[in-house]
Amino acid sequence: MQEANSRVRIDIEYAIEQIKKANAKRILIQVPEGLKDKLTEIVEALQHKCKNAEFFCQIDPIYGACDLAENESVLLNADLVLHFGHSQMVESRKTVYVPVTYVISDREIEKSAKKIIEYLGENKIKSVTFGATIQYVPYLQKIKALLEKEGIIVNISRAGVLEYGQVLGCNINALLQNKENELTILFADGYFHAKFAALVSKKKVIQIDLINAKIEEIKQDQKLVRKRIASIMRAEKAEAFGVLICTKEGQFNFEKALELKKLIEERGRKAFLFFGDLILPEYLLGIKVDCFVSTACPRIALDE
């Protein structure tokens, strides 16, 4: 992760352009945890070109492109929110998404492509689907071209407003649109996206580390599958349900929560509505219901 972080390319010029375009004087900055070591550098770079602007840095954890500081911007009377490290997922009033990518050389891309081609040849695979987190999306077409020279069919699809091939921790629809492909290839760091892809995708999943030209097969977590099935079976016996609503901009599913409450009550059970910005297991302790149903991020019900 340190190696990846040293390769980060932040589009400061784009951020400056957006500040000037909005004539913003008070700006709120959001960065994910992995970029906090660059936070002061970002502010100094922006202040150098926007001397009359005032910058506020949010220190709360950011859980993705859905987690916008729109409400905080109202409290601070901010003119603009600069959200670094993610691409647009939801419509926003004040937020601008600032691109952050990794610098990967052509030589490194060619090295990884060669290993992928060898792997596909050994496993007699001729058609694949590509997916990537936003940092690696710019390199998908280059890798696709190298594989296609070897006669491999590469599919790169798009889901909603996301980039072609882009996946989120809660949205891997770009990987699910082509049923004919034999393998899913994911370009990402860590296992957060890969585990979800393996759980939801019906195809075999491998993850590529472009920096180190490393291939890793990602298996479906059978323990998680069994826990999921067991939770659903226990929920069938529940008499009182707590329906969870998250106030984060991209997770606010108010109408869905009301719909679920009505559905539960129509079946003779009790339903209560609970809301909060951050939904954690410890925040639910002491509430007397038999089952919680989340309308927020789908990963809440999956991850411990």
More confident residue, 36 or 169: 36
Question: Strand, helix or coil at 208?
Answer: strand
Name the architecture of domain 223-301: 3-Layer(aba) Sandwich (3.40)
Domains 106-218 and 223-301 share a fold: yes
* Burial zone of 148 (CB within 10 Å; 0-12 exposed, 13-18 middle, 19+ buried): exposed
CA angle 138, 142, 145 (to 5 degrees): 145
Choice between 43 and 232, residue whose per-residue pLDDT is larger: 43
| The pLDDT value given to residue 15 | 96
Question: What is the pLDDT confidence band of residue 5, given thresholds at 50, 70 and 90?
Answer: low
| pTM score | 0.81
Please name the amino acid found at residue 188. Answer: A
Measured from the Cβ of residue 109, the count of other Cβ atoms closer than 10 Å reads 17
Residue 58: is its pLDDT beyond 70? Answer: yes
Instruction: Report pLDDT digits (tens) over 157-201.
Output: 988 778 899 998 888 888 888 888 899 999 998 888 888 888 888
Q: Residue 209 and residue 186: Cα distance in Å, rounded?
A: 9
CATH of the domain spanning 2-102: 3.40.50.11840
In this predicted structure, what is the pLDDT of residue 170?
83
In this predicted structure, the answer to whether residue 4 has a pLDDT above a threshold of 70 is no
186 with 84: CB under 8 angstroms? no
Cα 271–chain centre separation: 30
User: Which pLDDT score, from 0 to 100, does residue 304 have?
Assistant: 59
**Region of poorest pLDDT, from 19-28, 198-207, 250-259, 267-276:** 198-207
The residues spanned by each domain of the chain are 2-102, 106-218, 223-301
Alpha-carbon distance 233 to 291, whole Å?
11
DSSP secondary-structure letter at 151? Answer: T
Q: Once rounded to an integer, what is the mean pLDDT over residues 214-236?
A: 86
Query: Above 50 in pLDDT, residue 1?
Result: no
Q: In what order do the strands lie in the sheet with 54-57?
A: 54-57, 26-30, 80-84, 95-98
Tell whether the model's pLDDT for residue 267 goes beyond 80: yes
Residue carrying structure tokens 């990884």: 112
**Residue 215's pLDDT band (boundaries 50, 70, 90)?**
very high
Of 118, 146, 108, residue with least CA distance to 130: 146
Residue 3 clears pLDDT 60, i.e. is over it: no
Least confident of 88-97, 135-144, 267-276: 88-97
> What pLDDT was estimated at residue 81?
96
Whether domain 106-218 has CATH 3.40.50.11850: the reply is: yes
The pLDDT value recorded for residue 123 is 95
Q: Is the pLDDT of residue 2 over 50?
A: no
